[in-house]
Amino acid sequence: MTEATLVGLSEEDVYLFNQGSSYHSYRFMGAHPAVVNGMHGVRFAVWAPNAKEARVIGSFNSWDGSGHVMRQVGTTGVHALFIPYLTEGEVYKYELVKGDGTPIRKADPYAFHAERRPGTASIVTDLAGYAWNDSGWIRHKNSHTPYANPLLIYEAHAGSWKVKGKEIFYTYEELADELVPYVSELGYSHIELMPLAEHPLDQSWGYQVTGFYSATSRYGSPKGLMRFVDACHQHGLGVILDWVPGHFCKDDHGLRMFDGSPLYEGYDANRAELPLWGTLAFDFSRREVVSFLISNALYWMDLYHIDGLRVDAVANMLNLHMDKPPHMHTYNDIGGRDNLDALRFLKRLNEMVFHYYPDALMIAEDSSAWPAVTSPTYKGGLGFNFKWNMGWMNDMLRYMSLHPDERPHHHGLITFSLCYAFSENYVLPLSHDEVVHGKRSLLNKMPGSYEEKFAQLRLFYGYWMTHPGKKLLFMGGEWGQFDEWKDGDMLDWMLLDYDSHRDMLGYVRALNHEYRSLPSLWEKDAEPEGFQWIDVHNAQQSVISFIRRGRSSFSVVIANFSNRDYGDYRVGVPELGLYEIRIQSGNNAFCAPESKPPDGYRTEGASWHGYDQSISLHLPPYTFMLLAPREGDTF
């Protein structure tokens, strides 16, 4: 009988883990309630190849591991032990003896639950047994490709959407009862949650992780998170999780120097250290690290039914020099700055995710110019299916912050994105990163008076919603949060007592539902045929107009970024007939359906913009208009 068999492990599982080919390693690593030789208990397994000895310590043995020494499985570096009579809820750590005989105490890298900070121990947790009720959502998801369907994402930070007091957070269940119906009613298709893996510091927002397999205990139990995801699915909402495979924090109980030597990080400190963030980069050349990370991605989809991952800091993973001073620069084996191990990892990650979950969303948060990020790996791409369009975001936020008198001189900021809009499958992000650290809220980026700020934000949202690409908006943006995001406090919900913010919420709700209802705005998001300029050159008046096309429908968009009123503005259109106003932002409150012109705009036989017919309309300052031909109504 082998060492693996003695503790209930499969030799094949451990072998594949060592080879970097174990993609469900959470099924045997960590702490698992089990039955071995007829006895109920918990089996522990940890990878610590450089430890002289590994022990399990916890409340059950008064934190003295001398009686619970783990057995190393051959030369695999995996230590394992079955302890009879232990049950779910036991608090534990691993005590690892370094080469010099010094013991160190570490949380379990594969722990499914952890103590709430400032506690650092792991908790034996059985994730089986939750009764899911999302089969209808899964069938829907399997039959709807994300490329040719609406993708409208509400990004939320669970610790500040709403709170009940200082560091008194809503639980996963309470968020299921309040956040989920709120987002669903506003018309979003997905919720994106900032990282929920266990992390010691609230102000890191979850991006500096100690427990990659532990849903943070700040908001409750793992089963509570399952209920939240289930509630989302029952409301027709997909769930995207921010995922951070590029680095980890240095807290003593975490992955740093895990068995007394660099293990999850590389031996070269210049490559491992990320000085800007104060964290350590994963060593993607270690096969066991690859097993750990790819398994983690699949874990969230397998056990929590997460629909997709927004992969953080892809550019940082790929570039060995990014955010590092020259004396820390390292080079790959062919003398370049590309992290070839990270490149191979990302490709393998996406291959495995789509192998097991073909309908998953894998979204790269990537600010680099790396080509073919959203192309399949067999075509030389990285294999993601979406990428954040950081160029569009930077250009548009810069443009919108300009005084209207300056905008004619920077017209290219609103038009240049169409030169590359179809080079990748893009998401247009208005994320938390743009409304924090002194950058001001989206509303407060707009120049001018209080009223002008609201008018321009409505205009901006309309252009964003009709520009090719999927959409993401950070919480609070839907009603015009005035102050920038404060991660230690909840959003300023009292602003909804004021008409301007209530009207903004109503406008965003209407805009969201119009987007979802018009296939022309999303059926051909990734195809050049889905977009056509009507007038791209009107820099003097700061007005643009264009057509969005679906498979069998089209819409017309006119956006006036100036503070001037154009009483008779003529726009060429491709077909005869009546063009209804689907939504108009207006200079004050948005134009509700009852205030629209009853017959819309009927075409006239005046050639304009290269078309044989055109419409004449009133275009107030800072106005966005979305028009669509009334079906069957032609001359």
Q: What is the CATH number of the domain that holds 114?
A: 2.60.40.10
* Structure tokens given for 426: 């893009």
Residue 584 lies in a domain: yes
Average pLDDT, stretch 88-110? Answer: 97
Spatial distance between the Cα atoms of 362 and 353, rounded to a whole number of angstroms: 8
* Structure tokens given for 49: 């190849």
Domain tally, the chain: 2
- What CATH number has the domain bearing residue 576? 2.60.40.1180
Cα→Cα distances 387→336, 364, 429, Å: 24, 5, 10
Q: What are phi and psi of 627, to 5 degrees?
A: -115, 150
How high does pLDDT run on average in the chain?
A: 95
Question: Tens of pLDDT along 235-264?
Answer: 999 999 999 999 999 999 999 999 999 999
Instruction: Give the pLDDT of residue 588.
Output: 46
Residue ending a domain, among 123, 151, 168, is 123
Residue 590 pLDDT > 50: no
Each as own residue / partner, the long-range contacts of residues 344-349 (CB below 8 Å, 24 or more positions apart, any chain) are 344/284, 345/245, 345/284, 345/290, 345/293, 345/294, 346/311, 346/314, 346/317, 346/318, 346/382, 346/383, 346/384, 347/377, 347/382, 347/383, 348/290, 348/294, 349/245, 349/293, 349/294, 349/297, 349/383
Structural domain for 7, as ranges: 3-123
The helix or strand, by DSSP H or E, that contains position 450, with its residue range, turns out to be helix 450-466
Average pLDDT, stretch 550-564? Answer: 97
Residue ending a domain, among 97, 123, 149, is 123
Residue ending a domain, among 93, 123, 153, is 123
Residue 208 pLDDT > 60: yes
Residue 464 lies in a domain: no
β-sheet bridge partners, residue 578: 602
| Complete edge-to-edge strand list for the sheet that includes strand 279-281 | 247-248, 279-281, 273-274
* Structure tokens given for 560: 């006036």
Q: Among residues 132, 276, 139, which one has the least CA distance to residue 208?
A: 276
Q: What are phi and psi of 610, to 5 degrees?
A: 85, 5
Instruction: Give the pLDDT of residue 600.
Output: 87
Q: Which of 13, 242, 365, 424 is catalytic?
A: 365
Spatial distance between the Cα atoms of 615 and 15, rounded to a whole number of angstroms: 70
Instruction: Give the pLDDT of residue 596.
Output: 52
CB 455 within 8 A of CB 136: no
Question: Tens of pLDDT along 455-497?
Answer: 999 999 999 999 999 999 999 999 999 999 999 999 999 999 9
For residue 245, give the 3-state DSSP assignment: coil
Residue 594 pLDDT > 50: no
Q: What is the dihedral of CA 185, 189, 192, 193, to 10 degrees?
A: 40
Residue 378 lies in a domain: no
Average pLDDT, stretch 564-591? Answer: 86
Residue 157 lies in a domain: no
Neighbouring C-beta atoms of residue 306, cutoff 10 Å = 25
Question: Tens of pLDDT along 38-76?
Answer: 999 999 999 999 999 999 999 999 999 999 999 999 999
Instruction: Give the pLDDT of residue 598.
Output: 57
Q: What percent of the chain has pLDDT over 90?
A: 94
Q: What are phi and psi of 509, to 5 degrees?
A: -60, -45
**61 secondary structure, DSSP code:** G
Question: Tens of pLDDT along 260-303?
Answer: 999 999 999 999 999 999 999 999 999 999 999 999 999 999 99
Instruction: Give the pLDDT of residue 631.
Output: 78
Question: Dihedral sign, CA of 415, 418, 424, 428?
Answer: positive
Name, in order, each residue with C-beta under 8 angstroms of 567's C-beta and a sequence gap of 6 or more.
618
Neighbouring C-beta atoms of residue 261, cutoff 10 Å = 14
Q: Computed over its alpha carbons, how large is the radius of gyration of the chain?
A: 27
Instruction: Give the pLDDT of residue 589.
Output: 44
User: Measured at the alpha carbon of residue 29, what is the angle toward residues 262 and 62, in degrees to the nearest 5?
Assistant: 85
Q: What percent of the chain has pLDDT over 70?
A: 96
Q: Which of 13, 115, 307, 312 is catalytic?
A: 312
Residue 312 bears catalytic tag: yes
Spatial distance between the Cα atoms of 475 and 483, rounded to a whole number of angstroms: 12
Average pLDDT, stretch 603-632? Answer: 94
β-sheet bridge partners, residue 548: 531, 555
Residue 88 bears catalytic tag: no
Residue 174 lies in a domain: no
Question: Tens of pLDDT along 503-538?
Answer: 999 999 999 999 999 999 999 999 999 999 999 999
Residue 554 lies in a domain: yes
Q: What is the dihedral of CA 487, 489, 491, 496, to 10 degrees?
A: -160
Chain centre distance of CA 306? 11
Cα→Cα distances 427→260, 389, 390, 422, 533, Å: 42, 6, 9, 11, 20
Residue 399 lies in a domain: no
Spatial distance between the Cα atoms of 635 and 631, rounded to a whole number of angstroms: 12
* Structure tokens given for 310: 């927004």
Instruction: Give the pLDDT of residue 422.
Output: 97
Average pLDDT, stretch 441-464? Answer: 97
Residue 148 pLDDT > 50: yes
Name, in order, each residue with C-beta under 8 angstroms of 120's C-beta and a sequence gap of 6 or more.
93, 107, 114, 200, 210, 251, 253
Average pLDDT, stretch 597-625? Answer: 92
CB neighbour class for 219 (10 Å; exposed up to 12, middle 13-18, buried from 19): buried
Higher pLDDT, 3 or 345: 345
Cis peptide before 118 (omega within 30 of 0): yes
**520 secondary structure, DSSP code:** G
Q: What are phi and psi of 426, to 5 degrees?
A: -100, 150
Question: Tens of pLDDT along 187-202?
Answer: 999 999 999 999 999 9
Instruction: Give the pLDDT of residue 635.
Output: 41
Residue 83 lies in a domain: yes
Average pLDDT, stretch 433-461? Answer: 97
| Residue 1 pLDDT grade (very low, low, confident, very high; cuts 50, 70, 90) | very low
Instruction: Give the pLDDT of residue 593.
Output: 42
